[in-house]
Structure 1
Amino acid sequence: MPSHLFADRPAPQPPEREAVDALIDRTRLLRGDVDAVRRDTSVLDDDDPQLRWQRALCELAVHQLDDLGEHLGQLRDGIAGPSACGTADTSARTPSEPPTGSLLSRVGSAEWNLLTDEVSWSDELYQIFGREPGAGALSLDELPSVLLAEDQPLLTSMVTDCLVDGRPMDGEFRILLPDGTMRTLHMMGEPVLDADGCTASMWAVLRDVSRLRRSQHAAGRTQDTLRRQEHMARAEHRMAVQLQEAVLPPWHGSLPISGREASGLDVAAHYLPSGASDLIGGDWYDALPLPDGRTLLSVGDLTGHGISATSAMAMLLGALRGMAVAGVDPGAVMGHLNQLIECSAQPALGSAVCCRFDPATGTLVWAQAGHPAPLLFRNGVGRPLPTPDGVLLGAASGVVYEQEQVALLPGDVLVLHTDGLTRLSDRGAGPDMLLELAPRFAQARTAQDCVRIVVEELGSAERLDDACVVVARVAA
């Protein structure tokens, strides 16, 4: 489109061709890099909103770099009409067919002469509006009729400001083609003044930015989805933490209520969150003085994370405490917990250890369901307790859980833990990691000192799963 000039403006000088060529080369290189990233993200999981958002941003960046490169090519070559710019032949395309190919096929020009009422449209503009050239160009009065109703006031304001106040136009509106297709156009223009400074005509460049806006909307939608999911994840994490804190006892040191003398145990515990997940797991620990003077010790781990796992953990822990208070033996407790999981609306798998300590006799009775055995430390040496039979909770019906009995001596240290404590990404699994701490436990004065030693040695941020540890030290 020939450039229109204000009467009092000097003609602009074209930029140096070499400088524009250098910008075009840099734009092409950047476009290639972004396109490579886009191809990499296209093979990733579409169910991940983070990846969808990244891919949408790459698509948007590629479209914008394509347009930038074509703009620079247009700046370098000048706009002397379709033949000079290498515009593709549009004669074979139907009016309703969307413009494709180079940027120039998506950019058209128009001039409305206020003195003669003559309207001049470029061939590209007819294609953009889906009109046959024989139908004629739209006048300024007719132009709003093809816009969406909500966009018509914007166009009217732009034209009025341009013609009356001499302001440049710069805005976007949406049009409806005869076949019902909607396009988004970006319109830029300004008034053309005669020798007396009066507005003689108005010219404009209209660009079809539909593809670009669709890419922007796609990026925005995926980002909104990602934000909503992140908000929901934060809310779930907060609720899971609050539920866990409400259920798990916040104590350390002598057991509450009964005290060291009554329970015969000095108890401390610690929860270690996973370094690989922001969600709280289904791990639990507990120590409960029972009405008959004995003490319940338990740890367990349910599959899953978040509210579902934490609520299921709270249900099991409540049932376990109730049965222990009622005097049910540890083996029978495991059997009832297995039945409870089977009857739950959301079945899961879990492992657990249930111990009952009698300070009068110094005996510990315990049962397990697919869980690491408690570790007994005595005189600087540690060993796992003999393991009674027991399968994972929820793994089978009608399971009978056996129980074992062991005598504890003053000064003994008993360590109960979930398997997440010894499953680190850079170390071997198993109880040996804890058994190596036996000499240090022998020097510790309290159960809390023992827990502190465990956390110092195994509280790595590289933990693959949540973990709990309970240390019970028999009073001397």
Structure 2
Amino acid sequence: MPSPLFADRPAPRLPAHDAVDALIQRTRRLRGDVDAVRRDAVLFDEDDPQRRRQRALCELAVHHLDHLDENLGRLRAGLPGGDAGGPPPETGAAPDAPDACSPPGRVGSAEWNLLTDECTWSDELYEIFGRPLGSAPLSLDDLPSVLLPEDQPLLTSMVTGCLVDGRPMDGEFRIVRPDGRTCTLRMTGEPVLDAEGCTASMWAVLRDVSELRRGGRAVDRDGASTRHAEHIERTEHRLAAELRETVLPPWRGSLRLPRQGRVGLDIAAHHLPSESGGHVGGDWYDAMELPDGRTLLTVGGLTGHGVPATSAMAMVLGALRGMAVAGIGPGTLMGHLDQVLETSLQPALGSALCCRFDPGTSLLSWAQAGHPAPLLFRNGSGGALPTPDGVPLGSSPSASYGQDEVRLFPGDVLVLHTEGLVRGCVRGAGPEALLALAPRFARARTAQECVRSLVEVFGGAGRLDDACVLVARAGA
């Protein structure tokens, strides 16, 4: 505290007991509220970096309020009429509060007299520095010897500015105690002037802020961890989106296949992202002309999101294309595709729908693996085709898959979609809404017009997941 030599400054007015009591009660109430938030934060997943950061911030705030309560108690005890010899009033901290028996943030004071070379330390300061009571306090020349080397220039600058330029001190440095423990101290102080305005001594208050700084560093580490995780998530999202765009068919708009034949298919497809756009799934659509003149139509999806799902989707779609080009029928193809997933290095589950259209006979052969059946719209009404046997890909070793056929007539509209089209909607766009599009499909002149109708109904319906849809319209 200021020396008696500090006589050219007016003495501060001491606060009344009632004012200090009110501050203590307000601090305790706030501390209880923050501690309740801290306990709630502990219940969340420990692996969540955001929750760890919130908990660390709460613990840091609790520490600050504990220290404030302790120092207000000391202030109250030192006021005239206070119980200066007794302990500070009970803090009211929760029994499970950290360091409740030995609260951090100890405060000590010191004064260095430049005229007599005397040095006076409070008992608390001896405890902070880990030095025995009654031993010689450290002089200003000796004080840097207990600091970490990299912090010594800061202390020298603070002391020089105080003694030479008369500036107040306020800074932090780290000391090494005799027991080897490193502590972080905050030092605030002022020069004490004599009657002629020259510096006669220097006083300082030193506070152990080690616990606070450790809490602050934990918050910074969690913040850095959160930012790093967010960066990784953004990078993976970009890679997954780029991989998806690379693998899916390059054609956009309408596609007419095959180029020769009695009945051709006008084809259009679309990918509907989720409302948040935060996840890239493993859904696909594809249409291609096979070497024998027939047309392949397929949609499907794998579980999961991000790079693992899109890379697995690329593998599956590549295998599917290769087997279709080799002339393997839809039912047998589904069985081989199931084996591909089971023997891959990254096993996955999924569903698929594979159709092969023969323009010479107008027959559509198709098979499914745990996937919604194609919807056939004809003469203003529509419904799902009877479903042949099939289980999800990767779910059952040596599974067998059935195959069915249906004849298409000019004007028929075939809709293939992944599960997320209907299941991923939350605002009323269900299966009934899909079948209710039959009149619009009947009036449509192209497959692209049918896709636009689907996007109008399902594209902005608060999607929880992404989806793919493919429309094939039989022409004359």
TM over 0.5: yes
What residue number does 2:324 align with?
324
C-alpha distance in structure 1 between counterparts of 2:74 and 2:475, whole Å = 88
Instruction: Give 1:25 deviation, angstroms.
Output: 4.2
Aligned counterparts of 2:3 and 2:259: Cα–Cα separation in 1: 93
Asked if 1:266 corresponds to 2:269, the answer is no
Aligned position for 1:442: 442
Q: Secondary structure at the match of 2:134?
A: helix
CA distance 1:24–1:425, shift in 2 (3 Å): farther
Q: Does the CA-based 8 Å contact 2:411-2:473 persist in structure 1?
A: yes
Q: CA deviation at 1:78?
A: 5.2
Cα distance change, pair 381–57 in 1 and its aligned pair in 2 (3 A):
same
Match of 2:217 in 1: 217
The one-letter code matched in structure 1 to 2:300 is G
**8 Å contact 1:331–1:402 — kept in the other structure?**
yes
Seen in structure 2, the aligned counterparts of structure 1 residues 256 and 58 have a Cα distance that, compared at 3 Å, is: farther
Aligned partners of 2:104 and 2:209 also within 8 Å: no
Paired amino acid for 2:146? V
Q: 1:459 to 1:120 in 2, by over 3 A?
A: same
Question: Where do 1:239-250 residues align within 5 Å?
Answer: 239-250=239-250
Matching residue's letter, 1:451 = V
Indicate conservation of the 8 Å contact 2:77/2:88, yes or no: no
AA paired with 1:270? Answer: H
Which amino acid is the alignment partner of residue 32 of structure 1? G
SS at match of 2:221: helix
Q: Map Cα deviations across residues 169-210 of structure 1 (whole Å, 9 max, x no partner).
A: 111011112221111100001111111222111100000111
The residue number in structure 2 matching 1:293 is: 293
Counterpart contact for 1:99–1:105, Cα < 8 Å:
no
What's 2:195 paired with?
A: 195
**Take 1:406 and 1:453, find their aligned partners in 2: how far apart are those partners?**
25
TM-aligned CA distance change 1:464 to 1:368, over 3 Å: same
Amino acid at match of 2:404: E
Q: Which residue of 2 aligns with 1:172?
A: 172
Does residue 1:399 correspond to 2:427, yes or no? no
The verdict on how the C-alpha distance between 1:314 and 1:296 changes in structure 2, with shifts beyond 3 A counting, is same
Question: Which runs of structure 2 are paired with 1:357-372 in the superposition (5 Å)?
Answer: 357-372=357-372
Is the Cα contact below 8 Å between 1:244 and 1:310 reproduced in 2? Answer: yes
Q: Aligned equivalents of 1:57 and 1:264: distance in 2?
A: 65
Gaps of 5+ in 1: 90-97
> 1:336 is matched with which residue?
336
How far the C-alpha of 1:101 sits from its partner, in A, is: 5.9
Report if aligned partners of 1:70, 1:102 keep a CA contact under 8 Å in 2. Answer: no
Aligned partner of 1:376: which letter?
L
Deviation at 1:425, TM superposition (A): 6.1
Rounded to whole Å, the distance in 2 between the matches of 1:464 and 1:42 is: 29
Query: SS in structure 1 opposite 2:308?
Result: helix
Deviation, 1:81, is: 13
Q: CA deviation at 1:245?
A: 0.8
Q: Report the AA paired with residue 295 of structure 2.
A: T
Q: Cα gap change, 1:447/1:24 in structure 2, threshold over 3 Å: closer, same or farther? A: farther
Secondary structure of 1:451's aligned partner: helix
2: CA distance, partners of 1:166 / 1:277: 60
Supply the distance in 2 between the matched residues of 1:206 and 1:378 (Cα, whole angstroms): 86
The equivalent residue for 1:145 is: 145
Change (3 A) 1:364 1:198: same
Q: Return the alpha-carbon distance in structure 2 between the equivalents of residues 162 and 54 of structure 1.
A: 39
Q: Aligned partners of 2:104, 2:230: CA distance in 1, in Å? A: 42
Tell me whether 1:419 sits opposite 2:419 in the alignment.
yes
Q: Does 1:182 align with 2:209?
A: no
> For 2:147 and 2:23, how far apart are their aligned partners in 1?
36
Q: Structure 1 residues 45, 277: CA separation in 2 closer, same or farther (over 3 Å shift)?
A: farther
* 3-state SS in 2 of match to 1:187: strand
Please give the alpha-carbon distance, in whole angstroms, between the structure 1 residues aligned to 2:416 and 2:393.
Answer: 18
Deviates more, 1:43-52 or 1:63-72: 63-72
Note if contact 2:388-2:402 (Cα within 8 Å) is conserved in structure 1.
Answer: yes
Q: Deviations over 1:281-322 (max 9, x none)?
A: 111111112233221110111111110110010111111112
* Runs of at least 5 residues in structure 2 that lack an aligned partner in the other structure: 90-97
The answer (yes or no) to whether the contact 1:71–1:103 under 8 Å persists in 2 is no
Task: Quickly say closer, same or farther: Cα 1:315–1:350, change in 2 above 3 A.
Answer: same
Question: C-alpha offsets along residues 130-167 of structure 1, whole Å, 9 cap, x if unaligned?
Answer: 11112221111221121112111211221122112222
Q: Does 1:384 align with 2:384?
A: yes
Aligned to 1:94: none
Q: Which runs of structure 2 are paired with 1:1-16 in the superposition (5 Å)?
A: 1=1, 6-15=6-15
> Residues 100 and 106 of structure 1 are in contact (CA less than 8 Å); yes or no, is this contact kept in structure 2?
no
Q: Give the conservation status (yes or no) of the 8 Å contact 1:284–1:299.
A: yes
After superposing the two structures, state which structure 1 stretch, 225-234 or 253-262, moved more: 253-262
Number of residue-to-residue matches in the alignment: 468
Deviation of 1:381 (Å): 1.2
Change over 3 Å in CA distance of 1:113–1:79 after alignment to 2:
farther
Q: Secondary structure at the match of 2:300?
A: strand
Q: Does the 8 Å contact 2:126/2:132 carry over to 1?
A: yes
The Cα of 1:441 is off from its aligned counterpart by: 1.9
SS of 1:184's partner is: strand
Partners in 2 of 1:5 and 1:381 — Cα distance?
A: 101
Match of 1:95 in 2: none
Q: Distance in 1 between matches of 2:85 and 2:445?
A: 87
Task: Write the distance in 2 (CA, Å) between the matches of 1:103 and 1:80.
Answer: 26
8 Å Cα contact 1:99/1:106 also seen in 2? no
* TM-score using structure 1 length: 0.90
Q: Which segment drifts farther, 170-179 or 102-111? A: 102-111
Instruction: Give the root-mean-square deviation of aligned CA atoms.
Output: 2.9
Higher mean C-alpha displacement, 417-426 vs 353-362: 417-426
Counterpart check, 1:162 vs 2:167: no
Asked if residue 312 in structure 1 is aligned to residue 312 in structure 2, the reply is yes
- Give 2:373's aligned residue: 373
Q: Secondary structure of 2:337's partner?
A: helix
1:302 alignment partner in structure 2: 302
Please give the per-residue CA displacement for 1:24-46, whole angstroms capped at 9, x wherever unaligned.
44443333222211111111110
Cα offset, 1:218, TM superposition: 0.7
Amino acid of the residue matched to residue 400 of structure 2? V
SS at match of 1:62: helix
Q: Which moved more, 1:142-151 or 1:64-73?
A: 64-73
- Work out whether 1:45 is the aligned partner of 2:63: no
Q: What secondary structure is seen at the aligned counterpart in 2 of 1:393?
A: coil
**Contact 2:14 2:79 (8 Å CA) reproduced:** no
Inter-CA distance 420–124: structure 2 relative to 1 (3 Å threshold) = same
